[in-house]
Structure 1
Amino acid sequence: MATKWCVSMQAEGDRVMRHDEIVALADAVAGLGGVASGIGTMGFGAQVVVEAPDQDAALERGLEHFAAAVETAGLPSWPVTWAEVEGDDEFGGAW
């Protein structure tokens, strides 16, 4: 049975992110119940909701969605430097 998971990721690079770039990332993750961050920082991040049977599968799906969103937004392909997965039970099914 699939569970909903919240996957948060951050990529870091070599320049400051502009407002319009993070807005484009936010648009790209919106369909996944996602949000984006990073305006004025040396990186960008997103949080998305995925369905998966376990935490490892959730992380894999989250990273796949993040990579696709980064490409859609036209952002640099910087390495993911941090990722975290939180399960539905940790939020009491709030989403």
Structure 2
Amino acid sequence: MSKWSVSIQAEGDRPVELSEVVALADAVAPLGGIASGVGAMAYGGQIVIEAENADIAVEAAMEAFAAAVETANLPAWPMTRAEVIGEDEFEAGEYGLDE
């Protein structure tokens, strides 16, 4: 199994308040996560998932993110973006971070 960093964004119909992003940050913290979206028409998070491959990681992350959104009492807006980076890809410098 590998570790994957998955970033997810959900878009809605109103700006997100600071208190909502703080609640989401608290909900994703156990997943090694962070949250974003203050003042935007979307909220998002980045979490770490262990999985066999990128597809499974994204699927698991979307489920975990949906649960975090529910825990944070945020509106269940549609997830519009998901990006995944594997620890092997990151360590190999594929993202412009060569030594």
For Structure 1 versus Structure 2, the TM-score category normalised by the shorter chain is over 0.9
Aligned partners of 1:86 and 1:3: how far apart in 2?
Answer: 11
CA shift digits 1:53-76 (9 cap, x unpaired)? 011100001101100000000000
CA shift digits 1:3-60 (9 cap, x unpaired)? 0000000000000000000000000000111000000000100000000001110000
Give TM-score scaled by structure 1 length: 0.94
Unaligned runs of 5+ in 1: none
Larger CA Rg, structure 1 vs 2: 2
Aligned partners of 2:28 and 2:59: how far apart in 1?
Answer: 16
Aligned partners of 1:34 and 1:20: how far apart in 2?
Answer: 17
Matches of residues 1-80 of structure 1 in structure 2 within 5 Å? 2-80=1-79
SS of equivalent residue, structure 1 residue 82: strand
Unaligned runs of 5+ in 2: 93-99
Kindly tell me the number of residue pairs found equivalent between the two proteins. 92
Deviant stretches of 4+, over 4 Å: none
Aligned partners of 1:59 and 1:86: how far apart in 2?
Answer: 10
Task: Give identity over the alignment, percent.
Answer: 61
Aligned partners of 1:7 and 1:62: how far apart in 2?
Answer: 7
